[in-house]
């Protein structure tokens, strides 16, 4: 029984609330379908996230859809997330349409004036994906039961109706009240919407599943719908989180597994400033996997401790977060740490801008301030401009390389400011390949001793050889022996997708899911799918 329509089969994952695991389960299903021989793509019509992913052609989409495309082993495109909302301040977000900034809109204006236009954009993007792939896995947003949003919904049940997609409803049992959240969600849906829900997935379960069976039996009898799987909690996924909402749980998990005195003697203590408007925190994911790194976030001065390294991350509003550092006392502490204590300080994107001498915004593109003094740790001056630079880059760095050698690097830039470095010849990074055909250029700045450096390159720490050379440089300054064989992060990430897919497949009724999608479950014989 194969779907004879020209378009692909579809499946939609919705949740009883935000952060119940929709994005990760979508990635898992994407990898499972690919393993089963289906050309698969992810889709989320509208995503709200500060954690961006840059596509091959320099466009900006939600990080989750980029990760899901990686799970599908395909190149991400803006059709996978045609509308991205990036919060800038209370009730105002930058609206990014097909990867390019469209406008800054408040919630009311977006809802009342733009959503009708967004419908056509969403439908056209999904149509293109369905014509190019055999399966498209749709991800909803938040909860489909938000009664105040349902009439203009473009991301949950109305989207499922447009696509004629069967819906699997995901609930997080780790939060408590899992049965109430499922039944309550169904009660708020219309009869047509309830009929579209084909089954439930209970996520993040801890314990003996047999003890849950009476509740599962009650739920199936009460709703007339099957529980398709109970997914046990899987710690240390090794796959990027979508947004900063997940940082609290990650932070608690890191603290749980830390040694009683904070770090082992052979580890480096690396602290990231958790800025109020932090973005692209996945820049630091490899550090959390390195065995010789004790990784943590600093939100307040009282949490400073005794770090070896302090990292300043990206921000959606650099000027506002710079003021936060000054008002909280962290700015003065960072300066003393770098200048007096000879600590290591690194800035990425907005963090790089903050490390400089001045930040100017004469056009008020990002803030209400014409100019602010930076932290003064690098000889740079930044001016904010109207155009946003989003591009994938490749190049090299000699910053921590052996004499006469260079370390290959790749990543992406996404920023509105342009930074001038007084000592241009001393730039630590050279960009030699730019996806959009932009000119080759130098990037970043560094102190003479390499203790303080900054770059616009997101993902710089995902480059295994560069990251290990940098960590070993710090280790030697701290009197520790260098490590020759460090983490191979990208290899581990690919293995993490396989591990996640195997975990979900073992606990999910894939046969029934294929039946809901009206396609046959494939088997592999002699290296070929049948």
Catalytic residue among 98, 349, 415, 462: 349
Average pLDDT estimate for 353-364? 93
Greater confidence (432 vs 125) lies with 125
Which residue from 492, 493, 505 is spatially nearest to 25, judged by alpha carbons? 505
Contact 244, 235 (CB under 8 A): no
CA distance linking residue 8 with residue 247, whole number of Å: 35
According to DSSP, residue 508 is labeled B
pLDDT for residue 151 is more than 70: yes
**78: phi then psi, degrees, rounded to nearest 5:** -70, -15
For residue 83, give Cα distances in angstroms to 49, 98, 118, 155, 240: 11, 6, 8, 10, 20
Contact 92, 106 (CB under 8 A): yes
CA distance linking residue 325 with residue 313, whole number of Å: 12
354: CB partners within 8 A, 6+ apart: 312, 318, 321, 322, 325, 347, 374, 375
pLDDT tens, position by position, 207-219: 898 999 999 999 9
CA distance linking residue 125 with residue 105, whole number of Å: 22
pLDDT for 252 equals 45
pLDDT for residue 85 is more than 90: yes
CA distance linking residue 62 with residue 85, whole number of Å: 9
Greater confidence (167 vs 152) lies with 167
485: CB partners within 8 A, 6+ apart: none
CA distance linking residue 86 with residue 277, whole number of Å: 11
pLDDT above 90: percentage of residues in the chain: 65
CA distance linking residue 493 with residue 146, whole number of Å: 35
According to DSSP, residue 308 is labeled S
pLDDT tens, position by position, 13-36: 999 999 999 999 999 999 999 999
Which residue from 241, 308, 313 is spatially nearest to 479, judged by alpha carbons? 308
Cα angle vertex 28, ends 517, 48, to 5°?
95
pLDDT for residue 437 is more than 70: no
- At residue 257 the predicted structure's pLDDT band, cuts being 50, 70 and 90, is very low
Greater confidence (336 vs 385) lies with 336
pLDDT for 279 equals 83
pLDDT tens, position by position, 372-427: 999 999 999 999 988 877 788 899 999 998 877 899 999 988 888 899 988 655 78
458 is catalytic: yes
pTM of the model: 0.73
Most confident of 120-129, 242-251, 383-392, 433-442: 120-129
In this structure, is the dihedral angle defined by the CA atoms of residues 22, 26, 27 and 32, taken in order, positive or negative? positive
Average pLDDT estimate for 72-85? 94
CA distance linking residue 137 with residue 29, whole number of Å: 8
Contact 270, 294 (CB under 8 A): yes
pLDDT for residue 37 is more than 70: yes
User: Cα 243 to the chain's mean position, in Å?
Assistant: 5
Contact 411, 463 (CB under 8 A): yes
According to DSSP, residue 458 is labeled B
Catalytic residue among 133, 294, 458, 462: 458
pLDDT tens, position by position, 447-489: 989 999 999 999 999 999 999 999 999 999 999 999 987 788 8
Contact 267, 241 (CB under 8 A): no
Write down the mean pLDDT value for the chain.
89
Burial grade of 404 (CB within 10 A; 0-12, 13-18, 19 or more): exposed
CA distance linking residue 10 with residue 100, whole number of Å: 27
Residue 177, sorted as left (phi over 0), alpha (psi -120 to 50) or beta, turns out to be left
Adjacent-strand bridge partners of 387: none
For residue 370, give Cα distances in angstroms to 377, 445, 456: 21, 23, 22
């Amino acid at each position: 029984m194969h779907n004879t329509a020209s378009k692909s089969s579809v499946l939609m994952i919705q949740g009883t609330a935000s952060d119940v695991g929709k994005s990760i389960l979508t990635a898992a299903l994407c990898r499972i379908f690919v393993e089963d021989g289906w050309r698969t793509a992810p889709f989320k019509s509208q995503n709200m996230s500060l954690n961006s992913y840059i596509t091959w052609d320099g466009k900006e989409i939600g990080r989750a859809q980029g990760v899901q495309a990686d799970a599908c082993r395909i190149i991400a495109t803006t059709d996978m997330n045609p509308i991205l909302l990036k919060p800038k301040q209370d009730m105002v977000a930058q609206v990014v349409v097909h990867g390019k900034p469209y406008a800054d809109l408040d919630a009311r204006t977006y809802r009342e004036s733009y959503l009708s236009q967004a419908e056509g954009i969403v439908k056209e993007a999904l149509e293109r994906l369905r014509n190019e792939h055999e399966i498209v896995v749709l991800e909803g947003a938040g909860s489909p039961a938000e009664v105040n949003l349902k009439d203009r919904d473009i991301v949950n049940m109305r989207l499922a109706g447009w696509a004629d997609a069967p819906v699997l409803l995901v609930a997080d049992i780790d939060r408590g009240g899992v049965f109430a959240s499922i039944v309550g969600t169904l009660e708020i849906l219309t009869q047509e919407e309830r009929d579209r829900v084909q089954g439930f997935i209970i996520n993040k379960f801890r314990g003996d599943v047999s003890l849950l069976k009476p509740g599962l039996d009650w739920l199936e009898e009460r709703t007339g719908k099957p529980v398709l799987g109970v997914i046990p909690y899987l710690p240390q996924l090794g796959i990027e989180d979508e947004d900063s909402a997940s940082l609290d749980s990650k932070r608690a998990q890191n603290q749980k597994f830390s040694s009683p005195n904070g770090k082992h003697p052979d580890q480096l203590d690396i602290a990231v400033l958790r800025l109020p408007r932090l973005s692209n925190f996945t820049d630091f994911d490899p550090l959390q996997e390195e065995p010789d790194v004790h990784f943590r976030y600093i939100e307040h001065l009282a949490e400073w401790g005794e770090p070896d390294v302090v990292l300043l991350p990206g921000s959606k509003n650099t000027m506002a977060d710079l003021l936060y550092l000054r008002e909280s006392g962290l700015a003065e502490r960072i300066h003393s740490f770098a200048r007096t204590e000879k600590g290591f300080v690194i800035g990425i994107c907005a963090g790089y801008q903050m490390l400089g001498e001045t930040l100017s915004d004469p056009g008020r593109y990002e803030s209400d301030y014409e100019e602010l003094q930076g932290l003064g740790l690098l000889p740079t001056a930044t001016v904010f401009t109207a155009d946003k630079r989003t591009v994938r880059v490749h190049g090299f760095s000699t910053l921590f390389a052996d004499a006469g050698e260079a370390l290959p690097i790749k990543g992406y830039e996404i920023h509105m400011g342009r930074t001038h470095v007084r000592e241009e010849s001393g730039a630590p990074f050279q960009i030699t390949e730019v996806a959009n055909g932009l000119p080759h250029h130098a990037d970043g700045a560094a102190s003479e001793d390499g203790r303080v450096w900054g770059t616009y390159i997101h993902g710089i720490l995902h480059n295994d050889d560069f990251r290990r050379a940098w960590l070993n440089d710090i280790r030697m300054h701290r009197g520790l022996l260098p490590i020759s064989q460090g983490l191979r992060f990208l290899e581990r990430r690919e293995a993490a997708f396989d591990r996640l897919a195997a975990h979900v497949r073992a606990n999910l009724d894939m046969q029934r899911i294929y039946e809901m999608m009206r396609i046959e479950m494939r088997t592999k014989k002699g290296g070929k799918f049948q």
